[in-house]
Structure 1
Amino acid sequence: MARLPSLFLSHGAPTLPIDPSMPSGEFAALAARLPRPRAILMLSAHWTTDMPVVSTAEAPETIHDFYGFPRELYELSYRAPGAPDLARTAATLLSDAQIPTQTQPHGLDHGAWVPLLLMYPQADIPVAQLSIQPHRDPAHHYAVGRALRPLAQDGVLIVGSGQITHNLRAADFGARPGDADPRVAEFTAWFESQLADREIEALLDYRRRAPHAVLMHPTDEHLLPVFAALGAADDDYSLDIQSLGTYQRALAMTNYVFGG
């Protein structure tokens, strides 16, 4: 079986599936370019724990972990089967890498089910979700990804879901797409240059080295999944960038594919 790439997705607002002004169709186009996985392991910025926890749910519930949105959003569900065997394998790989890990049943939060709904709307690919640790640094999440590398050779698509820039206090929800803060482009240009050059050390130290890093990520839980996806990639990965624009002035929608 050919090795699958790993992905980082900027999942945007929960309204992505129902807001025609948002680039929802591009997620389906991205999925169409990828080999079909036998299962998906999803790391979302919205499931945070003290240590890695991987979900063994047989039928993960759709978690509507937000409030104040249109009623139709709460009526959406994503009924993909769980992947408990994959979850247990992932837990073993992490434990073998000296990363203490737990398992428990858990549903899919919107960082997981929103992009999956757009990419694989038939909900026929088993999904397991793995938590992130917001009190741990990028190096920890990179190590998590490295431990999970063997899964990509076994037909598993490893996906980190967050946001390449995420400062809600700087967001202007009435802004047009052309009204992007120029500092967003400066940050993403630096980040993508380091990704393209495989400058892992610089990326792991992004909060000191990247322009406007703390402004783009006052807290970095929405960026941490990219380091897991990066760790899961081959050392000589190829980089494919799907840039979908900047919304609400400060929230860039960019997806990365780390190919083999």
Structure 2
Amino acid sequence: MNSVLPPLFVSHGSPMIALEPGDAGRFMRRLGDALDAGWGRPKAVLAVSAHTTARESVLLGGARHEAIYDFGGFPPALYQLRYDASGDPALAAAVGAALGVPVIDHGGLDHGIWTALRYIYPEADVPVVPLAFDPQASPATLMALGERMAALSREGVLILATGSITHNLRLLFRPNGAGQRPEEKSPEMPESAAFRGWMAERSAARDWDALADYRRQAPGAVLMHPTDEHLLPWYVAAGAGGREDAPLRLHEGVTFGCLGMDAYAFGPQAGALAAQLEKETAPV
């Protein structure tokens, strides 16, 4: 068994991924199997999601977490799904003290967390500690926060960041040439492909300065991310992985032609996880 867990970023896309896994859901199921095979079960998941934000970083130290349905207008079946996991108040307190981050006695998993975890750990048998972050913080600030969390990866804690590698919901309602909205399997917009490719290329080059300055340097950045919050968790996980090893794209994909579903691993064990994933073929 490997001793250092690789910090992760996964794109969760629409809440409907919980009912319709698609390629990203199938990948996340394989991801859970690969982590089990190579690292065993973590003692906890420290979750950083685009949908759990606050005016300052804060840890949710509740003893129990339930799925939060922080969305509207979806089929009734989606609201019937549950993901009930234990928290870890002691770990939250220890991490809060180490990071200088307050801890509140509060529980709940936003859809960015529970839709991913229901594929990675479907039995909900791993404690979860959510970390809210300031969505106005810069990528560099959140990388520094992640760097302060790096020791957790050596202590059996899986750092799981969730968001979307591209995220502009207005584009989901754009009409095409025939006056129709894009379908799930619509061809990818050139701007989306360019942005995802830039992230992968700059990651492989360990171009941390460019990555932190993505809004000015990446092609189509403002179109793909009108606001930052769905990409910012990527930087927390990247910081936790460290700057010596290149972020590694484990999965790439897109839905509705513009909603990127890429996933990344960080740190010295990213390559080992990629190799383990090649051995896993578990269906959803």
Contact 2:47 2:159 survives alignment (8 Å): yes
| In structure 2, distance between residues paired with 1:178 and 1:170 | 12
Structure 1 gap segments, 5+ residues each: none
1:221 aligns with: 229
TM-score (norm 1): 0.93
Number of aligned residue pairs: give it. 256
Q: How far is the alpha carbon of 1:8 from its aligned partner? A: 0.4
**Equivalent position of 1:61 in the other structure:** 66
Q: Which amino acid letter does the alignment assign opposite residue 8 of structure 2?
A: L
By percentage of residues, which structure has more helix? 2
Tell me which residue corresponds to 2:92: 87
Structure 2 gap ranges (5+): 174-180, 269-284
Aligned to 1:125: 126
2:53 and 2:94 map into 1 onto residues whose CA distance is 20
CA RMSD of aligned residues (A): 1.6
Task: Indicate the residue corresponding to 2:83 in structure 1.
Answer: 78
Which residue type is aligned with residue 147 of structure 1?
Answer: R
Indicate which of 188, 195, 212 corresponds to 2:203: 195
d(CA) in 1 for partners of 2:261 and 2:193?
11
Tell me whether 84-93 or 187-196 shows the greater mean CA deviation: 84-93
**Deviation of 1:240 (Å):** 3.2
User: CA offset at residue 32 of structure 1?
Assistant: 1.5
Distance in 1 (CA, whole Å) between partners of 2:107 and 2:127 is: 14
After superposing the two structures, state which structure 1 stretch, 139-148 or 216-225, moved more.
139-148
Aligned residues with identical type, % of pairs: 41
1:225 CA displacement: 0.1
- Relative to its length, the structure with more strand (as a share) is 1
Query: Deviation string for 1:79-116 (max 9, x for gaps)?
Result: 11111122112211211xxxx53433131010111100
CA distances 1:174-228 after superposition (whole Å, capped 9, x unpaired)? 3242411011111111111111121111111111111111111000100000000
- Write out per-residue CA displacement over residues 52-105 of structure 1, whole angstroms, 9 at most, x where no aligned residue: 01011101121111111111111111111111122112211211xxxx534331
Q: Tell me how far apart the structure 2 counterparts of residues 244 and 15 of structure 1 sit (CA, whole Å).
A: 18
Distance in 2 between the 1:176 and 1:71 partners?
A: 20
- 1:211 to 2:212 alignment: no
SS of 1:160 mapped into structure 2: strand
Displacement of 1:164: 0.2
Could you say which residue in structure 1 is the equivalent of 2:146? 145
Indicate the residue corresponding to 1:41 in structure 2: 46
Find runs of 4+ consecutive structure 1 residues off by over 6 angstroms.
Answer: none
